[in-house]
Structure 1
Amino acid sequence: MQRIPRYLQLAAELREEILKGDFAGGRQFPTETVLCRKYDVSRYTIREALRRLEAEGLIQRRRGSGTTVQPAAARGGALHQPLSNVGELLQYAQGSEVVYERQGHGPLPGEVAVQLADPTDGEWTAFRGVRRHAGDAPPIAATDAYFHEMLGDAVEALDLGAGTLFSQIEQLAGVQIGKVTQDIQAIAADPAIAAALEVDEGSPVLRILRCYFDPKGRIFEISVSHHPGDRFAYAMHIDVEA
């Protein structure tokens, strides 16, 4: 299974604390020295974690005046998803919870297959789950996940309450992720999505369609997630090559 760098783990931990409201907006964030001591990591690790949080708009760093939490981030309540590599995909769900339910086994639904240019032949096992920050909090995502029959018995061994499914498949099936593609589209919530997300029918939602490929270019997992417009933030940072 792909090892997640410590700075990404730390960024996820700090992100969770910020979005839970543990740090008031506009107030001073702990210094690098304090964070190094608290998490027992190097200054480089701290700086890389903070660099990602700044790119996501969660904190602001100014030379000579320290680091502060952006007021909107301190209010919490939204799922804030970073993306620059597969490791961050593994981390984004921290601080939220979901229990998936098996929906059946058969061909990929036509409304999903029609959106894909790659072959989707064969049988797929479907799961569905609604993600929340905790308890009675409003839903932040409704996700349908599909696993191809090439994964064999590994699909039956998935822990449906573990929060993420694809992070388990690498180990259970011995499959490696070669690449991940995603398509993001703003749509109006249909009756089923509106009911799952507890929003009005026709409300704006973001649909994120992800395909997970093995190194041979075969799709082994597909996920379709719908997020309420006011409970989701998406951030991406790009390192510019010299």
Structure 2
Amino acid sequence: MTSTRYEETAAHLRERIEAGDYPPGSKIPSVRTLATTYDVSDATIRASLRILEAEGLVKTVPKSGIIVRERSGRRRLTRSSQISHDGTMYRFPAAAEQGEPWTPHGKPTTSVEPVPVDVAEVFELEPGTPVVRRRRVMSPAGEEPWDIIDTWIPPRIIAVAPKAGEPVTGPGGYLARIEETGHGPLTWEETARADMPNREEAELLGISSLMPVMRILRIGISALDGLPAECSAYVIPSDRVEIHSALTRGPSARWPVSYS
């Protein structure tokens, strides 16, 4: 397939960034300068830069121009069915279990917010219904924001476990407050999909709104009534994660395999 001029220009700029000609944190030439250098139109350069933004290589900083991004290493999410408890709280399969320290960006918040469409469907509520949201923006220590974690707790649960909706929840966190009301033991299920970030998410993660994100929706199911008791929505930039799953042989695939 023949490359277009903007794809060719993006490829050349990408090579220069990866070669260190434009190191992280540096400013690349203006659109006008690049258009003159490559003998193309301003529109072609802007299209090239949109490709690089979507790949996470550059970002637009108001009043500063196009800046080469500092890039976090891609981390592996090992997805399994194993949930553990370390004596203080539950631990779910995630990159954080690699043993490196993770820290919040800004102060974790607890507030009542309009519930988004995907979470509203989980709780069978009208989109926009006021629901308690616990928000954290996290990353490995010393790195740029890596993910947003929004935990939503529906009104029927807050009614019996009000502490779960407070900033300080006590030992075991909000999950312990939910389970001790008779809704425990919770069971969980997850779905994951690719999507584009909204403006707020892009700003919190320091990414272009053109960069796809991974959305993981983890739903905690009540043992009391079989309904969702909490829902945690993870938003992770696509350039920072890969998913790893161990595959096991089912009974029909046991070795040695018999061929008929």
TM-score by length of 2: 0.51
Aligned to 1:206: 214
Cα deviation, residue 211, structure 1: 1.4
Cα gap change, 1:90/1:167 in structure 2, threshold over 3 Å: closer, same or farther?
farther
Instruction: Measure the CA separation in 1 of the matches of 2:241 and 2:208.
Output: 16
Q: 2:103 aligns with which of 97, 103, 111?
A: 97
Whether 1:197 and 2:215 are equivalent positions in the alignment is no
Aligned to 2:145: 139
Cα gap change, 1:165/1:225 in structure 2, threshold over 3 Å: closer, same or farther?
farther
Aligned to 2:76: 80
Cα gap change, 1:123/1:173 in structure 2, threshold over 3 Å: closer, same or farther?
farther
Cα gap change, 1:177/1:171 in structure 2, threshold over 3 Å: closer, same or farther?
closer
Aligned to 2:124: 119
Which structure 2 residues correspond to residues 1-242 of structure 1 after superposition, within 5 A? 77-87=73-83, 90=92, 92=94, 93-94=96-97, 95-98=101-104, 99-104=107-112, 109-113=115-119, 115-116=121-122, 119-120=124-125, 124-135=131-142, 137-149=143-155, 150-151=157-158, 152-156=161-165, 159=168, 168-169=176-177, 173=181, 175-215=183-223, 216-242=225-251
Cα deviation, residue 174, structure 1: 5.4
Cα deviation, residue 156, structure 1: 4.3
Does the 8 Å CA contact 1:180/1:211 hold for their aligned counterparts? yes
Instruction: Choose between structure 1 and 2 for higher RCO, CA contacts under 8 A separated by at least 6 residues.
Output: 1
Q: Deviations over 1:83-106 (max 9, x none)?
A: 22241652533432335201226x
Q: Which amino acid counterpart does residue 90 of structure 1 have in structure 2?
A: F
Does the 8 Å CA contact 2:164/2:175 hold for their aligned counterparts? no
Q: Deviations over 1:11-30 (max 9, x none)?
A: xxxxxxxxxxxxxxxxxxxx
Structure 1 stretch displaced more, 164-173 or 76-85: 164-173
**Identity score, percent:** 16
Q: Which amino acid counterpart does residue 92 of structure 2 have in structure 1?
A: L
Does the 8 Å CA contact 2:110/2:167 hold for their aligned counterparts? no
Does the 8 Å CA contact 2:163/2:174 hold for their aligned counterparts? no
Aligned to 1:32: none
Q: Which amino acid counterpart does residue 83 of structure 1 have in structure 2?
A: R
Q: Deviations over 1:99-147 (max 9, x none)?
A: 5201226xx614234543x634886311111111013x11111121111
Unaligned stretches of 5+ residues in structure 2: 1-71, 85-90, 252-260
Does the 8 Å CA contact 1:206/1:227 hold for their aligned counterparts? yes
Instruction: Measure the CA separation in 1 of the matches of 2:125 and 2:82.
Output: 22
Does the 8 Å CA contact 2:138/2:146 hold for their aligned counterparts? yes
Does the 8 Å CA contact 1:120/1:219 hold for their aligned counterparts? no
Q: Which amino acid counterpart does residue 133 of structure 1 have in structure 2?
A: P
Does the 8 Å CA contact 1:157/1:172 hold for their aligned counterparts? no
Does the 8 Å CA contact 1:81/1:233 hold for their aligned counterparts? yes
Unaligned stretches of 5+ residues in structure 1: 1-75
TM-score by length of 1: 0.55
Q: Which amino acid counterpart does residue 145 of structure 2 have in structure 1?
A: P
Instruction: Measure the CA separation in 2 of the matches of 1:123 and 1:86.
Output: 32
SS in 1 for 2:183: coil
Does the 8 Å CA contact 1:130/1:196 hold for their aligned counterparts? yes
SS in 2 for 1:112: helix
